[in-house]
Structure 1
Amino acid sequence: MLTRFVARRLAALFVTLLAASVVIYGALHLGPGDPAALLAGGRSPDPEVLAAVRAQYHLDDPFWTRYGRWLSDVAGWRLGRSMTFGTDVAGLISARLGNTLFLVGYAAVLILVIGIGFGLLGALGGRVGATITTVSSGVLMAVPAFIAAIVLIWLFATRLNWLPVFGSGTGFTGRIEHLTLPALALAGSYIAYLSRITRSAVATELRSERVETARSRGVRMPAIVRRHVLRNAAAPVLTVSGLTVAGLIAGTVVVEQAFGVSGVGSLLVLAAQKQDFVVVQNISLLMVAAFCVANTLVDVLNAVLDKRLLRTGR
């Protein structure tokens, strides 16, 4: 039954990625103007340059022929050549991917630890814990990532001089030091959201019949929380956690630019500014793929935790 469930999710993942690739590739042809001029940098190049671009990208071929060739190249990690940077797109992305993955992983750890911790405090910590969680989550959710970046830079880099504010660092320790502020700026609103979801899920389980029955039998509250509350509240928390971590990939665009992190997000911004559509196209597909894969993994983990999902197929 689990195998069938996983197969359905993988089929859905394939269809979603295929549809997204059509949209991303077709966007080149939906905009005004000549796609060859756009691929050449959006300027008005010489006819010889336009002819070379058309020959390189086979722009005179039918759309589906070009799309199939592009999709085959992407599957083989042959992403073409950037006309702005003068190098292979695959090399550009590979050189920056490590920094982005480290930043996303760092922010994900902060979100899971602090977000779930605050949520449990709000649900199990009485009135004081609920007040702390409500106020802190309200403040964090109201602050956009770029505003949080400004505040963190002013406080921890300018005033206190505790942490560096620019660059990605080298080595594990150097990366931790340089990426702490970007990770905090990236994780802020997600921490608030996850803490509220965790608090709501745990509070709902605390009011359930199974908990009331365990209390009437004299079972201690710590044991009730371990056996009944946390296990049954895990499904919604896991779902939101997976979606949150997947959303971090898109959030890196703003944070990497603000802190000068040499990652895929800052490369996307730079490529968009220079109208390097080949780079934008491939990074967009990469981000969509990462988001879809993360969602699929969350679905499978939920099915493992809750066997009812295998019967319903949802």
Structure 2
Amino acid sequence: MLWINLGLICLIGALLVGLASLLQPRTAAVGRVLVTLGLQIAGVVVLTWLLVQRGQAISRQLPPPPGTETAIFAQIEAPAVASLLLIIVALVWGTGFGTAAAAFAVGAKRPRLALLLGVVSLIWVIPTFMLAILAQDLQTQIYNLWQVNVTGGYATFSAGQLAWSAAVLAIRPAAYAYRQGSILIADQSRALFVRTALSKGLPWGVIVRRHIVRPAAAGLLQTGSSSIRLMFGSLPLVEFFFGYPGLGNLLLQSLGVSSGAASQPPDPGVAIASTVVLASILAIFEALIRVLTQKADPRLAEAAAEAAA
């Protein structure tokens, strides 16, 4: 009943925050974000518990969890930290590189360069697991040519493992950030105040920081939110292919998926915990981005306050 109780706590907390927001319209913007976050986590907890219980009812071969619920939480603690670090690094690399490339392409005003980067950005349609296979093949080729092991180890947390996993995980978000960022930056670059800054001889980098990124911040943050969803959808496969000791890999192992000859039996308790924590991290990231978007564009917060009034 732990998961049901946790879901009810999140649901009741969301309702209380919603009632408080109705009484205090000034907090309506943040309250709406917190209510959405609570409802998302409650729905994930209850739905995941129901699906696992349904699976156990259909297949009686699933054994009970090997430990207590306290042991389950201790088991997912380290993988949760590893996955969180991987997501942060991949998000910074992906969105940062994609947005910087978009700003460079718009500022260079070279059609051939923009065309080349646009073609390269089509890599975002390639499934992430294929990119992971190509990265592992690259590791093999490097080892065969120079006898240098650049993998950083397998099934161990290391800087090399983190770098490779984050690089593969960031490829599609970087391409998506470039495509969306180029549209936003190009649109802002045609504004009158940007043309005035250009006529005064200000460097393009200064113009981007002062006169383009700030007005386009809300749209760029929304691009980051979409990039996070792309990463979370690919996280289990990337961790599994590289043997990265994160929550995605732990989730697949708890479902009986293993890369070795000896696979461990399914563990419903760990599967529920891994799914809930991953979904909660995603919901928290999206909530933070919604808050930052409202800060970047006060009109959104004012619209939320007017709707609640």
TM-score of the aligned structures, taking structure 1 as reference length: 0.75
Paired residue for 2:150? 163
- Does the Cα contact within 8 Å between 1:153 and 1:165 map onto a contact in 2? no
From 111, 114, 122, the equivalent of 1:130 is 114
| CA-CA distance at 1:85 after TM superposition | 11
Paired residue for 2:266? 275
CA displacement, residues 106-138 of structure 1 (integer Å, 9 cap, x when unaligned): 212211321111111222222243123212211
CA displacement, residues 138-182 of structure 1 (integer Å, 9 cap, x when unaligned): 1x2133222112222222343353612642656xxxx22232222
Paired residue for 1:253? 236
- Does the Cα contact within 8 Å between 2:172 and 2:230 map onto a contact in 1? no
From 18, 26, 47, the equivalent of 1:23 is 47
From 256, 259, 278, the equivalent of 1:287 is 278
1:299-310 equivalences in 2 (<5 Å): 299-310=290-301
Paired residue for 1:6? 30
Cα distance change of structure 1 residues 204 and 13 upon mapping to structure 2, 3 Å threshold = same
Cα distance change of structure 1 residues 133 and 84 upon mapping to structure 2, 3 Å threshold = farther
Paired residue for 2:221? 238
TM-score of the aligned structures, taking structure 2 as reference length: 0.76
- Does the Cα contact within 8 Å between 2:236 and 2:252 map onto a contact in 1? yes
| CA-CA distance at 1:260 after TM superposition | 1.3
Say which one has the larger Rg: 1
Paired residue for 1:48? none
Cα distance change of structure 1 residues 2 and 181 upon mapping to structure 2, 3 Å threshold = farther
From 220, 233, 252, the equivalent of 2:201 is 220
- Does the Cα contact within 8 Å between 2:225 and 2:286 map onto a contact in 1? yes
- Does the Cα contact within 8 Å between 1:122 and 1:130 map onto a contact in 2? yes
Paired residue for 2:174? 191
| CA-CA distance at 1:19 after TM superposition | 2.2
- Does the Cα contact within 8 Å between 1:163 and 1:181 map onto a contact in 2? no
What stretches of structure 1 move > 6 A for 4+ residues in a row? 84-87
| CA-CA distance at 1:2 after TM superposition | 6.1
Q: Distance in 2 between matches of 1:124 and 1:240?
A: 20
Cα distance change of structure 1 residues 177 and 34 upon mapping to structure 2, 3 Å threshold = closer
Q: Distance in 1 between matches of 2:99 and 2:44?
A: 32
- Does the Cα contact within 8 Å between 2:153 and 2:161 map onto a contact in 1? yes
Q: How many aligned residue pairs are there?
A: 266
List gaps (5 residues or longer) in structure 2: 1-24, 257-264
CA displacement, residues 179-232 of structure 1 (integer Å, 9 cap, x when unaligned): 2222111111111001111111001112235445x369x433535444322211
- Match for 1:281: what amino acid? I
CA RMSD after TM alignment:
2.8
| CA-CA distance at 1:93 after TM superposition | 0.5
Cα distance change of structure 1 residues 178 and 33 upon mapping to structure 2, 3 Å threshold = closer
Q: Distance in 1 between matches of 2:166 and 2:84?
A: 11
From 245, 254, 263, the equivalent of 2:246 is 263
> Which one is further off, 154-163 or 253-262?
154-163
List gaps (5 residues or longer) in structure 1: 42-52, 54-81
Q: Distance in 1 between matches of 2:274 and 2:150?
A: 30
Cα distance change of structure 1 residues 20 and 178 upon mapping to structure 2, 3 Å threshold = closer
| CA-CA distance at 1:299 after TM superposition | 0.7
Cα distance change of structure 1 residues 165 and 292 upon mapping to structure 2, 3 Å threshold = same
| CA-CA distance at 1:86 after TM superposition | 11
1:84-163 equivalences in 2 (<5 Å): 88-126=71-109, 127-138=111-122, 140-159=123-142, 161=148, 163=150
Cα distance change of structure 1 residues 258 and 85 upon mapping to structure 2, 3 Å threshold = farther
Q: Distance in 1 between matches of 2:45 and 2:69?
A: 24
